[in-house]
Amino acid sequence: MPRLKGKIALITGAASGIGAATAALFAAEGAAGLVLTDLRPEALAAVAAPLGERVVALAHDVTREEDWRRAADEAVARFGRLDVVVNCAGIALPGDIEQTTLADWRATQAVNSDGVFLGCREAVRVMKEGGRGGAIVNISSVAGMIGDPKLAAYCASKGAARLLTKSVALHCARRGYNIRCNSVHPSFAATPMVEAMIARSRSPERTREGLAHASPLGRMAAPEEIAAAVLFLASDESSFITGAELAVDGGLTAT
């Protein structure tokens, strides 16, 4: 049986990378409806087009309350409910504590922290109605578990997403909402965001090699490998898992 048969899911940052891979996997695993959101409408349309008729592509700024309310309400209006929310939208602006500007800090927190907060809040609002419940999956990072001297703002934002996840999980459990909330922590994956970081480095080839060998498995992850972890946490197979953090990092955090 398809692992998401009958479920309605909203995925942010779905125009590329982990978000796009998750959208394709959810569709293949029987999701009854998908609301895919991003700020890049043309790229998002290209991801949505092959996934069938029950897919909505929606322009969505995850830092804006009104956009989040509209996206959640659109899911309910189109499909009658919302079972899964994947907070995948994110940005990475490299910089150590001395280099990072206040503008870069605020931009990073707005997307990676505020966006996840708003996504969780809207998910809880619609999922608790009628006692149906649901699953929230927040894409954090190994940088939310261990430090990186060159990613001050990013580490802070992903650490915020990690602990917000646990707070949401406990709140929903104690209220009896039947809403689970978990986080996924990838290491470096072959996504456009990571490729952009590599391209901006002083020595792209050396940087690429360093990222590949950061994990004991000796390579970067494929977006589809991260999506598989998201699928597990979104499905009923993980029905007794909440407040957990799942590292998909090739063993990086085991060292």
**Three-class SS state of 112:** helix
Q: Which of 4, 154, 168, 197 is catalytic?
A: 154
Residue 98, judged by CB atoms within 10 A of its CB (0-12, 13-18, 19+), counts as: exposed
Q: In what order do the strands lie in the sheet with 33-38?
A: 55-59, 33-38, 8-11, 84-87, 134-139, 179-186, 245-248
Q: Specify the DSSP class assigned to residue 167.
A: H
Q: How many C-alpha atoms does 185 have within 13 Å on its Cβ side? A: 26
d(CA 130, CA 80): 12
How is residue 15 written in tokens?
């125009």
Look up 177 and say whether it is catalytic: no
Give the residues across from 58 on adjacent strands: 37
The catalytic site residues sit at 154
